[in-house]
Amino acid sequence: MSEAVHELAITEGLVEAVTQRLPGARVTCVRLEIGALSGVVADSVRFCFDLVTEGTRLEGAALEITQAPAVCHCRVCGQDFEPDRPIALCPCGSAEVTVLTGQDLKITSVQVA
C-alpha cells in the first residue's frame, strides 16, 4: 500500500511539473528516466499516470519510461561496478561505496501537439 502511495505522490508531482512548465499546451508524450536505485517502481508510475492525468491536458498522453542502470564506486578497491541489489556491495565485499548514477528520477523530454 505505501509503495503505491509513494508512486502516486511522485506521479502527481510529475504531472504538476509538466503542466506548470507548459501552461496551455496539450501534452502527447512524457519520457522519464528512472534510476535502478531510485526506489521508484516503473509499473506503479505507469498505473498512477493514467489516474492522475484524467481530466488534465496530459490525459491520453503516452508515458515512456527507461530504466537507468546504477553505477557505484568502491572506496576500498577503486572499482566501478553495477550493483545487483538495492544495498550496493562491491564484488570485493566492501560496503564502502559511493553511488555515481542510478538514483535519479527525471523527465527527459515532453512532446506537445
54-75 pLDDT, tens digit per residue, is 998 899 999 999 999 999 999 9
Across 44-49, average pLDDT: 94
Give the dihedral sign, CA 77/83/85/88.
Answer: positive
C-alpha cell recorded at residue 18: 509538466
| Helices of type H across 1-113 | 2-21, 42-53
Q: What is the pLDDT of residue 1?
A: 44
Cα 83 to the center of its chain, rounded Å: 17
Q: Please choose, from the candidates 68, 78, 66, the residue with its C-alpha nearest in 3D space to the C-alpha of residue 109.
A: 66
pLDDT of 6 above 90? no
Q: Which pTM does this prediction carry? A: 0.81
Q: Does domain 2-112 have CATH number 3.40.50.720?
A: no
For residue 101, the cross-strand partners are 71
Q: How does strand 62-68 pair with strand 27-35?
A: parallel
